Chain A
Amino acid sequence: MTSNAAVTQIESHRSLLWLESVTVAFGGLLALSSVDLEVVEGDRLAVLGPNGAGKTTLFNAIAGDITPSEGKVLIKGVDCTALPSRLRPQLGVARTYQKTRLFPGLTVEDNLYLAQTGKQRRHLSLWRNAKDAELRAKAREAAGMVWLTDQLSAQVADLAHGQQRQLEIGIALVTEPDLIMLDEPASGLSKGERERLVELLEALPVDSTLILIEHDMEVALSVADRVVVMSDGEVVATGTPDEIRRNPLVHAIYLGEEAAS
């Protein structure tokens, strides 16, 4: 990836997401160090790495929850490095969180309906109208996509953990994003629930662009067609799932030098 500004601008127009030398520092700790990354439409990118590698910080920088100390974040060619997180859904970005972040006081349908109203700018309305009926119908449709149709009226606080993770993904999908970022969607799931999750991710429309952080290599490598491996805030390897499986550096990072050799 070139750092030439003019080329960057031209390249970035073709990219859905373009990160240029993104650095995030927390005091003396460098959480991300000069990360370059490009994601084009239809990409299914898995971001791997041990704890503390900077994966979630990378997500936070893309989603606007953190402003990078240095570098640029371009989404659809728009420089949104300092754009607040609440304005990024308008650019087609949706994310999930490592720790489940839902609205437990509301029902499943309300969660999926609410997720759309922010982007649709319906959230300040004191009246319900035909548009709401449309959004409700889409909410029910999204519940079907994540197998929660029979839980539409259930209070989210009463759902099992696996169902809550499904709803997390449903909330991201219902906004019809151009870029979906899933932060450890398999976290805390049983083996059966993981298989269900893989099935769900594989069933996403083929043109969906996905970035996935996942500790479970099986889940990540079966869903992604490209993999980025991070360690200590840096990108240390990129490649196809097969290339990453064979990469000795990746083995060393995950298993230690001795085991890798």
Chain B
Amino acid sequence: MISLSARNVAVALTCVALILLPAFGSDFFVDFVATRTLMLGLAASTMVFLSAYGGMVSLAQWLIFGVAGFAVGNVVAESGRGLNLGWGPWTGVFIALVAATLLALLLGILSARSTGIYFLMLTLTYAVVGFFFFGQVTTFSGFGGITGIDPPGFFDDRPKRLYYAALVLSMLAYVGFRAIARTPFGLALQGVRDDPVRMSSLGFNVQLHRTLAFTLAGFVAGLAGVLNIWWNGQIDPTSISIGPTLDLLIIAVIGGISHLEGAWLGAFVFIGANIYLRDIPFLGSIEGLLEERLLAEERFNTVIGLLLLLIMLASPDGLAGIIARIEHGIRLAFRRSNPEGDGSSLRTNGQ
């Protein structure tokens, strides 16, 4: 049963605002800020899910996201690099999701025995291998990448329909991950996170739980990858290199890697910084000193690095952690002002 907590009320109000956004937001904002935020948030939510509920910080999520994109590209594109199968877009979606899920299953089986820093490094290795695979195996891509990938005709009404697709999938992922956390599987996954040795002595197959959680997260990352390829229309190995792989981690950390909401919060800050910080007078005035693209990239990395540092100093649990603390403060104040009440109307659900 869904409780009427402050957290749920805030999430519901945000969802309503997001549903209404295309009615009052500019096309630019909806397409370049909101849709990208939702897509990146969806991908980052898989990292947060694995970390918050399974204790696994995976750097392979961006690879799985990219594999779904490459699968769509190879299946749908009719000319250029790749397989050029020229099949329908929905067939591409199906194959992309199967490929992403099977890859996640395989990687999950390979890494389920590792924990902590070893798991992180192993998944980083997968990401690097994936980058070189698509760069060097020209049958599937090559460094030039695959271009001219069109979304299904249904999404021609851009940006609204693609935005709503990203919104619906984000909502489903958010609600789904939270619901899974309360199922026997989700509770067992949290038990594996807290104490795998004790879980094993209670009769649980710890590796199987980790593998299944990784597979589930891979499926959702695949969905985000499909949306991204529809939005972008092209994909190349550079887009799944170490830089973007770490960007996803930065998004999750900025937002708060222990809070599902943090995935989308972090994505919003990341995309917002990328788009709007160039308009700040001081930062804008140094434009032209170097080649514009390079300057923009370096300036962005510096700014997002400083932003990450500030947020980490203020709250190791990211932006969602700050919000959780504010909510906790309000709840305490509410209790003090109403000592008779139990404050249940403001009670938050644990992750």
Contacts and interface: CB of A to CB of B under 8 A. Distances in A.
Interface in A66-86: 84-86
A113 B200 CA distance: 15
B194 A124 contact: no
A117 B188 contact: yes
Contacts of A132: 184
A89 B183 contact: no
Nearest to B194: A103
B156 interface: no
A87 interface: yes
Interface in A110-131: 110, 113-115, 117-119, 122-128
B203 A118 contact: yes
A103 B191 contact: yes
B350 interface: yes
Nearest to A86: B200
Contacts of A228: none
A125 B185 CA distance: 5
Contacts of A103: 190-191, 194-195, 198
B184, B187, B205, B350 — most chain A CB neighbours (10 Å): B184
Nearest to A119: B203
B183 A126 contact: yes
A118 B212 CA distance: 16
Contacts of B188: 114, 117-118, 123-124
Interface in A43-77: 63-65
Contacts of A88: 201, 203
A95 B180 contact: no
B117 interface: no
B199 interface: yes
Interface in B315-351: 350-351
B204 A123 contact: yes
Interface residues of B, number: 27
A188 interface: no
A98 interface: no
Contacts of A86: 200-206
Contacts of B183: 125-128
Interface in A187-209: none
A102 B194 contact: yes
A105 B351 CA distance: 8
Contacts of B259: none
Contact of A85 (B180, B200, B212): B200
B200 A128 contact: no
A106 B185 contact: no
A127 B182 CA distance: 9
Contacts of B182: 128
B350 A118 contact: no
B203 A87 contact: yes
B350 A105 contact: yes
Contacts of B195: 101-103
B193 interface: yes
A121 to B, nearest CB: 8
A122 B182 CA distance: 13
A123 B200 contact: no
B73 to A, nearest CB: 32
Nearest to A157: B194
B293 to A, nearest CB: 44
A128 B190 CA distance: 16
A143 interface: no
A147 interface: no
A124 B212 contact: yes
Contacts of B194: 102-106
Given A119-B202, A123-B204, A175-B202, A101 B197 contact: yes
A155 interface: yes
Contact of B201 (A65, A90, A106, A113): A65
Contacts of A94: 202
Contacts of A84: 200
Contacts of A106: 187, 190-191, 194, 350
Contacts of A123: 184-185, 188, 204, 209
Contact of B198 (A90, A101, A128): A101
A63 B201 contact: yes
Given A65-B201, A101-B197, A106-B190, 19 more contacts: A64-B201, A65-B197, A85-B201, A86-B201, A86-B203, A86-B204, A89-B202, A103-B198, A106-B191, A114-B187, A117-B187, A118-B199, A118-B203, A123-B184, A123-B209, A124-B209, A125-B183, A128-B182, A128-B183
28 contacts: A63-B201, A85-B200, A85-B201, A86-B204, A88-B203, A89-B201, A94-B202, A97-B197, A97-B198, A101-B198, A102-B195, A105-B193, A114-B191, A114-B202, A115-B202, A118-B188, A118-B199, A122-B184, A123-B184, A123-B204, A123-B209, A124-B184, A124-B188, A124-B209, A126-B180, A126-B185, A128-B183, A175-B202
Interface of B: 180, 182-185, 187-188, 190-191, 193-195, 197-206, 208-209, 212, 350-351
Interface of A: 63-65, 84-90, 94-95, 97, 101-107, 110, 113-115, 117-119, 122-128, 132, 155, 171, 175
What 3 pairs between A and B have smallest CB-CB spacing?
A118-B203, A89-B203, A103-B194
